Structure 1
Amino acid sequence: MAAAWFIVDFQNSSICILLCLFSFLCYSFFFLKKRNNSGQGCVLPPSPPSLPIIGHLHLLLSPIIHKSLQKLSSKHGPLLYLRLFNVPIILVSSASIAYELFKTQDENVSTRNLPTNEGSIFFGSSGFITQPYGGYFKFVKKIVTTKLLGPQALERSRGIRADEANRFYLNLIDKATKNESVEIAEEAMKLISNSMCKMLLGKGFSEDQEKVRGLLDETDLMSMKFFVAAILRKPLGISLFEKDLASISHRYDEVLEKSLLECEQHNQSSDMLTVLLEACQGKTGEYKITRNHIKSLFVDFFIAGTNNPTNTIKWTMAEIFNNPKILGRLREEIDSVIEKTRLIQETDLPNLPYLQAVVKEALRLHPPAPLILRNFREACKVKGFDVLEKTTLVVNIYDVMRDPDIWEDPKEFKPERFLPSSRSFQEDEIKEEILKYIPFGIGRRGCPGSNLSYLSVGTAIGVMVQCFDWKIEGDKINMEEVPRTMTLTMAHPLKCTPILRNVKPLLSIV
């Protein structure tokens, strides 16, 4: 078990070599017969050369896994059969194959089959992300849509986000007045986390904010381990980092229990929390949940709803800084639409198509989670090839959204590709495009928070472009990625100094 973990963590290649040599002696006894029987008579997708026991693990030993998979697909094809130990995997890296797969097999691949740590509110059996597609998942998705992320719910919470956007703006004014540099991700994290907290709980975390942000950073660093656990399952899954998981879970529990108690005592619950507490207390008969269900749900949504928009804001500003012409066009659009005396608002976004295009293009090049992980519940066919039941599906959306068969100049940052004038608006083509531009996943298990993310990111970018010039160090921003994580995060801080464009502060109109 320890040897396997060192291989996965890319730290001890000698153990990998020893394991490979040993595998030649025992391969036929442990795996060959089983594999031949399970795939007998099947025509599996193409498969790169593999090694005994470890399968294709040696091809994936890269600190940045989505780029390793991209390289593998560019050499061997967009639909591949891989094997890690005895776990079968189908890798999809083409927009056309992803489109066909989710068009015909969405329900079949709507389960994640993730290992869980029993009793833990983080990555435990009560979580929303780890739930199979069934009763509890549908119950929570319904509540989330009606009380948090649906159009009417977002309209009700618009004032919360407007207040936080104004606070974000005033903080940047303070930095500009003092000629202080800011770290874009740090300021964006405050904006997004404060908004998300108030939307989920009806209140902010106040003195616990720094503790929560530290937990989010720690969670991000563990994301590669979650991916490994999901692929290998037990015994090489959760048990490898159970102590770390228990520690994070305990600290999340402390913060959330404190906040839940304060909400109950002062009757300050959000709409969503009120419904969940009623379900927990048995006041509604639709689905009985526990307090741990509520905490686990809030942890899942706080992580996804805070880290992902924060990273997107940072990537988007980095691309804007690296493309001065885009910055100029973006500012020209904002200045032509919004009065000089007021701050940009969410309600302005539909009238700012180029700003929307800039955000979409940043998400295309830098999707928050570059890999989709699902499981085939039943055997099926994909592109004429057989896929066995319980096979793990990995869709490299990082690669899908850089597919040269679909995207012109796929590596270039070109927001114009998302402008209405550059696309056909035939209904069938729009549906196809939706299935090929998938920064938030796709289908029944796609991220329900995509609309909120567009609103939050668009407003934050709009404020920074409308109100400030920016002084950066050097000519270009370093766009390297953080290694060994499953989220797309910039490796280097994005530090820059804001310079006020308007001496008189703009009004915030809710």
Structure 2
Amino acid sequence: MSLWDLISWAILLILGLFLVSFLLYSTYLHYIHLKYDHIPGPPRDSFLLGHAPSLMRAMKADSLLHELILQWSQLYGPVVRVYAFHRVMILVNSADAVKEILLSPTFTKDSVYKNAFHLFGVRFLGNGLVTDRDHEHWHKQRRMMDPAFSRTYLMGLMGTFNEKAEDLMEQLAEKADGKAEFSMHEMMSKVTLDVIAKVAFGMELNSLRDDQTPFPRAISMVMRGVSETRNPLIKFNPGKRGFIRAVQESVRLLRQTGKECIEKRQKAIEDGEEIPTDILSQILKGASLEKTCDMEILLDNFITFFIAGQETTANQLSFAVMELARNPEILERVQAEVDEVIGSKRDIEFEDLSKLSYLSQVLKETLRLYPSAPGTSRSLEKEMVIEGIPVPANACLVFNFYAYGRTEQFFNDPLKFDPERFGPDSKRPHFTYLPFSLGPRSCIGQVFSQMEAKVVMSKLLQRFEFELVERQSFDIVDNATLRPKDGVICRLRPRGHK
């Protein structure tokens, strides 16, 4: 047999294998469609790709995937099926289903969370508190972290909250001439980074005063990387190689910083020094109780808290500034409350926070329209009926908090920024306002986050008047968390009586 005959047979064999694989895959897709096509949903873009083209278009920089999910929920009802190749996602827009599923520990996080274990081949969140899908193992981690978020410990953080917020006010005062234009999101990102580094890990990053510190850029790159990985083809795009390398370097920087921080604390413990009851101490305590000092697992939780504690609060604060500047009557009212409760004093006390009720409403309304973490998902292991529709097993249940906050049947005139929705006499549906998720896997740091947000916003409202620079958009960009696309560009000037 000649060489050409061998090549011809090899080509035929490859083509035959491809044809068989294609037929098997097509048969499997047909089977999947038969199982789930009774559920309402948009027409597929194609038999093979499902809705993947629509999803990919919605994930472009000038669009927002969550708007597409909102549109589909409005068009097709509380249970919507979506195909991405062979994968089936069920969009759940039902308060009853939220209550039943998210409050139950029997519904594990969907396998999509495994995607955050690595980021472009570099270990990222691993098996930290957010990504751990094993309920028993997660529960051990959560229980060990609880003391770092107790009321007693959080009350002790007021000094640091005040200190770092004052650093921010000093930086803003230098810009508050009524002419300088700057990104409020950038400033909020720096102050929240300084806060989480200090109170969680005993680190003084001083990013507000040090423009050369690499951490703000590293976190921004990492979050962009997480967002970009939703496109499975990105790693094959030659034009993205530089970006991928930058993301990999950013992850390595954060994990190396965590390693140095952990080793320093471990030495302090060995030397018998007094250590704080912070998140880092709880991470190490948990490792000690489980008799494991696997550095990679320790770093998983370091990265989880370092990023989550910075990114989400910065986004909320930025969106709050944006909405207050667009709603002067609301701004006037919340400033009046701050004047009454805080007056001209420099340090805000823990007891003051509960008196800032209207500011709480403003912050809650901000999270309704702009939830920093826009959703979660659960794995459906057994068939169940949702809103009268049988949903077969093995689907991914998607709960989109962004869509809930903008759904008419949950919130009247949902696009209007109205803090009165959260007033003491307001009535609203349960299980549809979920900025920190719900149930056992809800955010452990939500009280911490809102305390910090209140301190920073109180001082900002106490000291400054602010206005938005013209010609900027109020669009939202999804970098794994929702942030203002143009950064909330502002001008500031001091308040006359302060």
Does the 8 Å CA contact 2:323/2:417 hold for their aligned counterparts?
A: yes
Aligned pairs (5 A) from 1:426-465: 433=430, 435-465=431-461
Alpha-carbon distance in 1 for matches of 2:306, 2:85: 34
Alpha-carbon distance in 1 for matches of 2:147, 2:92: 33
Does the 8 Å CA contact 1:337/1:352 hold for their aligned counterparts?
A: yes
Taking every aligned residue pair, what percent have the same amino acid on both sides? 23
Bigger mean CA deviation after superposition, 264-273 or 453-462 = 264-273
Q: Secondary structure at the match of 1:493?
A: coil
Alpha-carbon distance in 2 for matches of 1:167, 1:499: 17
Q: CA deviation at 1:28?
A: 7.5
Q: CA deviation at 1:413?
A: 0.3
Q: CA deviation at 1:295?
A: 1.4
Alpha-carbon distance in 2 for matches of 1:198, 1:268: 16
**Cα deviations across residues 413-463 of structure 1 (Å, max 9, x unaligned)?**
00011010333xxxxx8xx52x21101222222221111121111221211
Alpha-carbon distance in 2 for matches of 1:393, 1:227: 17
Does the 8 Å CA contact 2:361/2:419 hold for their aligned counterparts?
A: yes
**Cα deviations across residues 351-389 of structure 1 (Å, max 9, x unaligned)?**
121110000001000110223233223332222323333
Alpha-carbon distance in 1 for matches of 2:77, 2:21: 27
The match for 1:107 is 106
Does the 8 Å CA contact 1:316/1:358 hold for their aligned counterparts?
A: yes
Query: How many residues are treated as equivalent by the alignment?
Result: 459
Q: Secondary structure at the match of 1:210?
A: coil
The match for 1:129 is 130
Question: Aligned-pair RMSD on alpha carbons?
Answer: 3.3
Q: Secondary structure at the match of 2:493?
A: strand
The match for 2:139 is 138
Alpha-carbon distance in 1 for matches of 2:318, 2:73: 28
Does the 8 Å CA contact 1:471/1:499 hold for their aligned counterparts?
A: no
Q: CA deviation at 1:120?
A: 7.1
Query: What amino acid is the match of 1:59?
Result: S
1:499–1:343: structure 2 CA closer, same or farther, 3 Å change rule? farther
Partner of residue 260 from structure 1, selected from 253, 257, 262? 262
Structure 1: runs of 5+ lacking an equivalent: 1-24, 424-428, 505-510
Partner of residue 274 from structure 1, selected from 265, 277, 281? 281
Which structure has the bigger radius of gyration? 2
1:227–1:439: structure 2 CA closer, same or farther, 3 Å change rule? farther
1:164–1:120: structure 2 CA closer, same or farther, 3 Å change rule? farther
Alpha-carbon distance in 2 for matches of 1:97, 1:72: 18
Normalising by structure 1, what TM-score?
Answer: 0.80
Q: CA deviation at 1:493?
A: 2.8
Give yes or no for the alignment of 1:493 onto 2:493: no
The match for 1:247 is 249
Does the 8 Å CA contact 1:99/1:436 hold for their aligned counterparts?
A: no
The match for 2:74 is 74
Partner of residue 468 from structure 1, selected from 464, 471, 476? 464
Q: CA deviation at 1:54?
A: 0.6
1:417–1:124: structure 2 CA closer, same or farther, 3 Å change rule? closer
Aligned pairs (5 A) from 1:37-436: 37=31, 44-50=38-44, 51-60=46-55, 61-62=57-58, 63=60, 64-95=64-95, 97-102=97-102, 107-112=106-111, 113-115=113-115, 116-117=117-118, 122-147=123-148, 149-176=149-176, 180-206=180-206, 210-228=213-231, 246-265=248-267, 269-271=275-277, 272-280=279-287, 284-286=288-290, 288-423=292-427, 433=430, 435-436=431-432
Does the 8 Å CA contact 1:107/1:444 hold for their aligned counterparts?
A: no
Normalising by structure 2, what TM-score?
Answer: 0.82
Q: CA deviation at 1:243?
A: 6.0
Alpha-carbon distance in 1 for matches of 2:274, 2:215: 20
Does the 8 Å CA contact 1:56/1:83 hold for their aligned counterparts?
A: yes
Q: Secondary structure at the match of 1:164?
A: helix
Q: Secondary structure at the match of 2:481?
A: coil
Query: What amino acid is the match of 2:473?
Result: N
Q: CA deviation at 1:330?
A: 0.8
Q: Secondary structure at the match of 1:142?
A: helix
Q: CA deviation at 1:225?
A: 3.1
Q: CA deviation at 1:121?
A: 7.0
The match for 1:11 is none
1:173–1:42: structure 2 CA closer, same or farther, 3 Å change rule? closer
